Amino acid sequence: MAEIKLTAEARTEFGKGAARRIRRENKVPAVLYGHGTDPLHVTLPGHDLMIALRNSNALLSIDLDSESHLAIPKQVQRDPLKGFLEHVDLLLVRKGEKVVVEIPVTVVGEAAPGALVVNETTELSVEAEATHLPEGVEVSIEGLQAGAQVLASDVELPAGTTLASDADLLIVNVTAAPTADQVEAELADAEAEAGIEHDAPESDAAADEAPAESTESE
């Protein structure tokens, strides 16, 4: 993965008020830490950082004063409503150093007809060299029959990458797709448990409300 260069500025103001002022300038407060050194409090350009973090394991080259630091994102805080970056923690790394990161799992292919595919896990923990972190892995379900499972140990990882997750972690579970009758029965059971009652059909209700015909002779 290519290094993404960002220019940082030392940060001397702290607290919520200072963070708001930084964000109003289209910058993001961040912390660089690791290797037993004191944390470096910096601000980073908001737009450039947002583009860089489109890959969750981006390798960042941070220029600060006359020094350059390699780092990867460790924790990213975003506004829950608007999605803008609020704060970023960056882990300092060195070339040749191995780190454990989470990578996304993408399911590809089509299972056998009548099979229902459940993606149980969307991320895997792997260990890889900090400067060669994989962007993700693909898991093929092509032709898998009901009853098949894909475990973490079954996933083919890129060269130089080893599995850090439990080998028995379930990634994909393939089951038989429910029939229409089964879906209707499950829905009825759920509605019954929730106390949902349906009105009687209109024709039946009308019949109940209609007056009985008189049998007396006039």
Three-point CA angle 119, 122, 125, nearest 5°: 135
- Asked whether the predicted pLDDT for residue 184 surpasses 80, the reply is no
CATH number of the domain at 97-210, out of 2.170.120.20, 3.40.640.10, 3.40.50.150, 1.10.1130.10? 2.170.120.20
Quick one: 4-93 is in which CATH superfamily? Answer: Ribosomal Protein L25; Chain P (2.40.240.10)
- pLDDT of 217 reads 47
pTM of the model: 0.71
Has residue 198 got a pLDDT over 70?
A: no
Q: What residues does each domain of the chain span?
A: 4-93, 97-210
Question: How far, in Å, CA of 62 to CA of 70, rounded?
Answer: 6
Signed CA dihedral, 5, 53, 133, 65: sign only: positive
What pLDDT does residue 218 have? 44
For residue 212, name the pLDDT band (cuts at 50, 70, 90): low
Per-residue model confidence as pLDDT tens digits over 139-152: 999 999 999 999 99
